[in-house]
Structure 1
Amino acid sequence: MNIGVFLPTGQDQWAPVGDPRDLIGFARRAEQLGFASLFVNDSLLTPRIEPLTMLAAVTPVTERIRLGTGALLPVLRRPVQTAQTLASVDQLSGGRLTVAVGAAFPGRFGRPLHELSQVPWERRFARLDETVALWRALWAGATEFHGEFHSFPELPPATRPFRPQGPPIWLGGATPAALARTGRRYDGWLPYPPDPADYATGLAAVRQAAREAGRAPEAVTPALFVNVRIDEDPEAARRTMDAYVRSNYGLPLEEVEHIQAIALGTPEQVAATLRRYTQAGARQVVARLGALELKGQYEQLERLADLVAPTVPTAPTAALVRPASR
């Protein structure tokens, strides 16, 4: 199992007593501690550092750690320009990029994004699939592209990614349609089901869809997005996570824990929760740390590293760079 973490790019995490440039030190420390990946998330509804800008900033100060989006919302960006940006980050990182994408959710977290982007809400999943197909065509050197939503009778030479096939593209989502699409079209799966049993059922559906599409089931990387808060006092962990999700979503923890995977409590309790997901089939775990300020994010990063030390790879000596002091 590979363990990764999310960079706390939300303004609520770094603004109160810090500086967004402190996120560079956070990225360095994550690599120093041996974490396998560093992810960023995406939104226009809460203030944050734009994800692809953030990845470009940490690319030259890291050497080994994989860089990822979880999940990038292609509807927020023009597709040809996004393909160029993703290929550029992949080149600059030496092929360390993984791109997890999503189509946004119904309600106040989905439709407003489409309205801000002046893109119809209807057929958003088909639009997402076609956008990914356009990226892959550009990276492969296509000179034209014709689809339902995007049509280019002539395409100029595109920026090529580090790897000829481009960065792996994962899908976030756990509806039956998303599971089928993941198995047929995508390189990985990054859901956050609140019940490990649902993860196991979903992964089985993804692999079955891959077989039916003539793909090897192992071609789809089974990953997990999970919210983590480690504290010796389980009630304190719960209170802090409640404040964190209210800040992110405007919802109490008792609602969010019915929607998203959450591992909180003592180190033993968090380890037990993560173990249930790995037993369900997850092989790459990306943890979003439940702390509102950057100091708390650093503390949780250290605690998670202590907890999962036997499972994270050891960072090469050359990559051990201490975070910049302020």
Structure 2
Amino acid sequence: MTSTVRIGALLPTREMAILNDFSIAPLLDFARRAEKLGYDSLWTGDSLVARTRLDPFVVLSAAAAVTERITLGTGALTASLRHPLLGANMVTSLDHASGGDRLVLGLGAGFPMPESEDEFTSVGVPFAGRVGRLDETVRYWKTAWSARTEGAPTVHKGTIWQTEGLDRLAAPATAGGPPLWLAGSDTPRVLARAARLYDGWLPFLPTDTAYAAAWSAIQEQAAAHGRPEGAVTPGLYATVNINPDAAKAKAQLEEYLQGYYGRSLEIMSTFQAYGWGSADDCAEWLAGYIRAGARHIVVRIGSLDPGDQLDQLAEAVLPAVRALV
């Protein structure tokens, strides 16, 4: 496993949508700024109507055009909302738009909330069975992206889809296609799937203790499957709000979550990772996850106006966290 700690920032596509702003220019300014400030990666979420925002493929293509080195990722792409053939072509196109070897796809099966179920229904996809659908999508994509390799299969024969001639699809710029990470929790099924099938794990676990136990289990199971050390990247999706006054930081985070999910911090913090307070407080909180094994942290700034905190994170939190390893 790499000893390097990478830190990414989440593009505020959902935050802008909450404010009824769907313009692209502020997102591109954010992308340029994140790269200039030294962030390692830039991420965006995905939702059609459950938590409305701009399309991640379009946003990341635009971000790729105004940046040079920063990794681009989805956190997370609800892949099952799109037919896997269409999805494979969209991913390949984005891989080329970003120049190759810059794209990471965090994939989610769908957030377990009523609005997510409504979203699946709206595009005619069953919400039940969504986990198996996601895993089959991953196998479908991997077949498609390796189909031009001599001797590799060109047909996907799955439970849901059967497709021939996958070698006719455009080949990705990245050999074998971009890394595919599983965005999920620490249930036994999630850990087993991450260890067996995925290139990374992107959880939002509320404590570093839970993270350490889950990551240990993934490593053991990946080794049992014969996967080499480092085959699974340990990520983390964490939300922070920086303010020297911890009470004000917590209040702003509370307001943010009510706008984002319509739910309280008390509820959301039972299953998602939230940190608040001074820059030192946030750095120490993230440090616990680094010690637990996390090596690529995706930071969502818990504010509807994240610009200033992007700078504070870069100036105070990023160096402190990176210095741990």
TM-score by length of 2: 0.91
| 1:297 equivalent among 302, 306, 323 | 306
**1:90 — aligned with what?**
95
Conserved in 1, the CA contact under 8 Å of 2:7 and 2:318? no
| Counterpart amino acid of residue 22 in structure 1 | P
Please report how far the alpha carbon of residue 121 of structure 1 lies from its aligned counterpart in structure 2 after TM superposition.
Answer: 2.1
Larger relative CO (CA 8 A, sep 6+): 1 or 2? 1
The reply to whether residue 308 of structure 1 matches residue 317 of structure 2 is: yes
The alignment's C-alpha RMSD in Å is 1.8
| Gap change, CA 1:13 and 1:239, over 3 Å in 2 | farther
Conserved in 2, the CA contact under 8 Å of 1:5 and 1:37? yes
| 1:165 equivalent among 172, 176, 180 | 176
Count of matched residue pairs: 310
Is the deviation greater in 48-57 or in 28-37? Answer: 48-57
The reply to whether residue 191 of structure 1 matches residue 195 of structure 2 is: no
The reply to whether residue 230 of structure 1 matches residue 242 of structure 2 is: yes
| Gap change, CA 1:126 and 1:195, over 3 Å in 2 | same
Q: Distance in 1 between matches of 2:207 and 2:169?
A: 42
Please report how far the alpha carbon of residue 194 of structure 1 lies from its aligned counterpart in structure 2 after TM superposition.
Answer: 0.3
**1:61 — aligned with what?**
66
| 2:293 equivalent among 260, 281, 289 | 281
Q: Distance in 2 between matches of 1:34 and 1:181?
A: 32
| Gap change, CA 1:42 and 1:17, over 3 Å in 2 | closer
**2:52 — aligned with what?**
47
Q: Secondary structure at the match of 2:257?
A: helix
Structure 1 vs Structure 2: percent identity of aligned residues?
A: 40
What are the residue-to-residue correspondences of 1:242-253 with 2, within 5 Å? 242-253=254-265
Conserved in 2, the CA contact under 8 Å of 1:40 and 1:70? yes
1:302-323 Cα distance to aligned partner (Å, 9 max, x none): 010012342689xxxxxxxxxx
1:272-325 Cα distance to aligned partner (Å, 9 max, x none): 100001011001100001111xxx311010010012342689xxxxxxxxxxxx
Please report how far the alpha carbon of residue 240 of structure 1 lies from its aligned counterpart in structure 2 after TM superposition.
Answer: 0.6
The reply to whether residue 200 of structure 1 matches residue 204 of structure 2 is: no
Q: Secondary structure at the match of 1:149?
A: coil
Please report how far the alpha carbon of residue 29 of structure 1 lies from its aligned counterpart in structure 2 after TM superposition.
Answer: 0.2
1:137-175 Cα distance to aligned partner (Å, 9 max, x none): 111125321110011134461111112211000001122
Q: Secondary structure at the match of 2:230?
A: helix
TM-score by length of 1: 0.91
Is the deviation greater in 14-23 or in 193-202? Answer: 14-23
**1:322 — aligned with what?**
none
The reply to whether residue 263 of structure 1 matches residue 275 of structure 2 is: yes
| Gap change, CA 1:217 and 1:312, over 3 Å in 2 | same
1:23-80 Cα distance to aligned partner (Å, 9 max, x none): 1010000000000000001112122111111001111110010000011001111211
Conserved in 2, the CA contact under 8 Å of 1:139 and 1:166? yes
Q: Distance in 2 between matches of 1:180 and 1:58?
A: 33
| Gap change, CA 1:6 and 1:92, over 3 Å in 2 | same
The reply to whether residue 34 of structure 1 matches residue 38 of structure 2 is: yes
**1:143 — aligned with what?**
154
Is the deviation greater in 159-168 or in 110-119? Answer: 110-119
What are the residue-to-residue correspondences of 1:8-23 with 2, within 5 Å? 8-10=12-14, 12=16, 15=19, 19-23=23-27
| Gap change, CA 1:309 and 1:152, over 3 Å in 2 | closer
Following TM superposition, the consecutive aligned residue runs of length 4 or more in structure 1 with deviations greater than 6 angstroms are none
Conserved in 1, the CA contact under 8 Å of 2:93 and 2:172? yes
| Counterpart amino acid of residue 209 in structure 1 | Q
**2:140 — aligned with what?**
134
**1:105 — aligned with what?**
111
Conserved in 1, the CA contact under 8 Å of 2:280 and 2:317? no
Please report how far the alpha carbon of residue 238 of structure 1 lies from its aligned counterpart in structure 2 after TM superposition.
Answer: 0.5
1:219-277 Cα distance to aligned partner (Å, 9 max, x none): 10001000011001101100111111111110011111111001111111101100001
| Gap change, CA 1:227 and 1:122, over 3 Å in 2 | same
The reply to whether residue 6 of structure 1 matches residue 10 of structure 2 is: yes
Conserved in 2, the CA contact under 8 Å of 1:231 and 1:267? yes
Please report how far the alpha carbon of residue 136 of structure 1 lies from its aligned counterpart in structure 2 after TM superposition.
Answer: 1.1
